[in-house]
Amino acid sequence: MTQGPLTTEAGAPVADNQNSETAGVGGPVLVQDQLLIEKLAHFNRERIPERVVHARGAGAYGTFTVTADVTRYTRAAFLSEVGKETETFLRFSTVAGNLGAADAVRDPRGFALKFYTEEGNYDLVGNNTPVFFIRDAIKFPDFIHTQKRDPYTGSTEADNVFDFWGLSPESTHQVTWLFGDRGIPASYRHMDGFGSHTYQWNNEAGEVFWVKYHFKTDQGIKNLTAEEAEILAGKDPDSHQRDLREAIERGEFPSWTVYVQVMPAAEAATYRFNPFDLTKVWPHADYPLIEFGKLELNRNPRNIFAEVEQSVFSPAHFVPGIGPSPDKMLQGRLFAYGDAHRYRVGINADHLPVNRPHATEARTNSRDGYLYDGRHDGAKNYEPNSFGGPAQTGRPLWQPISVTGVTGETVTPVHAEDNDFVQAGNLYRLMTEEEKERLVNNLANAISGVTRDEIADRAINNFRQADEDFGKRLEAAVQALRG
């Protein structure tokens, strides 16, 4: 079916798209060939800065459906009744690689989910792991620098990676997870997702609960060994993106069963470890999983750049009934994510179709700037005003929490059983003998690339403190590889 003639960006029909205009046959090209100049100028600007982290990604639209009543915990409208459906957009990603990196690599996976709710967009920006390497956002730039290319060598360096991890013992739990069997998912469809951070839910009565989100894949967990991943990354760098797109095209819509752990706010202060520490999980024996939803992905984006690359997510995008916690990593991300997108895409990134609310309308007093679309017409750009402009509600999205003490650079509060190694050791001891062997081999292969003995020894010692057998086996494996 014809779509009409090819046009310039201004809508004028194009007479010749095969030959540029010249001064005579074989002569130099003329500046007046505005189609040529328009095409070249646009081509030069077709890329925006890639994300510093999570640059490599894929996405799809879907539906979230409430399957159980959670109104006793939260007043969020999109969770208000069983059977209620909300449109979503989910972006998967790897963390460390650049935009052209391979999918099948050992790396955490981003699990960034946008709910287009009637009270505004709610962004849940998580990973496929329930924990993270650090617990304070002030260390995040340093951590990422160790995962990226060294400024001198231009390559990723094992020295940098394990020097930082060895000097940051709180990373031991996440590193144990990353180098275990789930460190390389077989596809985006065959992995779980987690909100990872602790968040606040609050109900109509103003009661506060701390929560953690879990998305359990209905496709089953499937992972790649290091050897399988090395082959796949070379044969098909786009393996995960291709798998997701083709599954949806076939009508095999991937889905996740959604759970929440709920802690009454009063229990946080005396819990056996700090419940806002991102390097730790809440044991299910203490706070069992409560099923409350189903997430299904059922529609592919039509344009990867417009809908995946330019999609923006921020954990600061809350809705009434949901809010932040004192998690220091989360607190840093509340600023950093929005700021990154204002730099990458522009101050009006939220005006783009993939980012703007779908079930309601954004009404702000922000005007102008790059990509501003004039949506406000002649409306006043201040509040309060007497011209019928939008006004404040007087009801915060989340409940306030009590704070005491003096200001200063403080360490994370210590609870009775806070320890950087206990949960890493517990994870190791849950593994089968075969899983332990693969974990040790994966770590040993990575640590063997370290050039300084003290860095390798310090890294190994963290795992020894998690479990004596873990450290002993890892030390022997590294020594064997290093000769």
- Which positions are catalytic? 54, 127
Residue whose tokens read 């320890």: 419
Instruction: Report the amino acid identity of residue 142.
Output: D
CB neighbours of residue 11 within 10 Å: 6
Residues in the chain: 483
Alpha-carbon dihedral of residues 103, 109, 110, 115, nearest 10 degrees?
100
User: What residues contact 282, with CB distance under 8 A and at least 6 apart?
Assistant: 212, 261, 263, 275
Distance CA 131, CA 194 (A): 9
Task: List helix spans (H) across 189-306.
Answer: 226-235, 239-249, 304
Q: 234 φ, ψ to 5°? A: -80, -40
What are the angstrom distances between the C-alpha of 156 and each of 103, 128, 149, 450, 466? 17, 23, 4, 11, 27
CB neighbours of residue 153 within 10 Å: 10
Rg of the chain in Å (alpha carbons) = 25
Q: Which residues of 70-100 are buried (b: 16+ CB within 10 A; e: fewer)?
A: beebbbbbbbeeeebebbbbbbbbbbbbeee
Distance CA 210, CA 215 (A): 17
